[in-house]
Amino acid sequence: MKTVKKWASNIVTTILFILLIVMIFVVISSKASGGEPQAFGYQLKTVLSGSMEPGIKTGSIIAVKPGGDMTRFKNGDVITFKSEDNVIVTHRIDKVLKNGDQISYKTKGDNNKTEDLNPVLSNNVIAEYTGFTIPYLGYFADYTKSKTGGALLLLLPGLILLGYAGFSIWKTISQLEGKMNKSIEVESSNKNT
């Protein structure tokens, strides 16, 4: 039984420590990249509208792959681009338009009835959607971009780890005191006999 408790304690400590390291990585990478966390060449974006529902829900986190030839896309691909008013949008390509060397895309949100008004120039495409989505985590990610959220993201795992370490120390001290009390009782009964 003690072996199981020891293993469980080690697993919990390891998970909390890894969580702390991951949170530090996310905060540092999001600050270094100007707000969007990156991992292994992918960017994580928060979905702020329901234009791609039901496939991509509002408040989801999606992974997109930046870089490469932005003229390679075809009908049905989902791309992330900067609109004319510098808003980041993720929509599906409805048509590929070629005008000499210039390629642009007519896009449409899956949940929208009509295509987007203006074609997207291939120069404005930022990345390709990978199909990886985590629903509703975007609300939390948006909060972490604030000063309070960023501080909480760093402090909370650290405080949990510190609290768990304090609990482990208290538990160990209690067990040692119990053993010492039993040892004193045994010595005392041995002296009386």
Strand-pair partners of 111? none
9, 29, 30, 49: the catalytic one is 49
Determine contact, residues 106/122, Cβ cutoff 8 Å: no
Are 95 and 120 in contact, with CB atoms under 8 Å apart?
no
- The span from the CA of 54 to the CA of 180, in Å, is 63
Neighbouring residues of 153: CB distance < 8 A, sequence distance ≥ 6: 23, 26, 27, 144
- H/E segment holding residue 15: helix 2-32
Sequence-separated (6 or more) residues with CB below 8 Å from residue 1: none
Contact of 93 with 73, CB cutoff 8 Å? yes
Integer angstrom CA distances of residue 130 from 41, 77, 151: 12, 10, 30
DSSP letter (8 states) at residue 72: -
State which amino acid sits at residue 80: T
Query: Catalytic residue at 188?
Result: no
User: Which active-site residues does the annotation give?
Assistant: 49
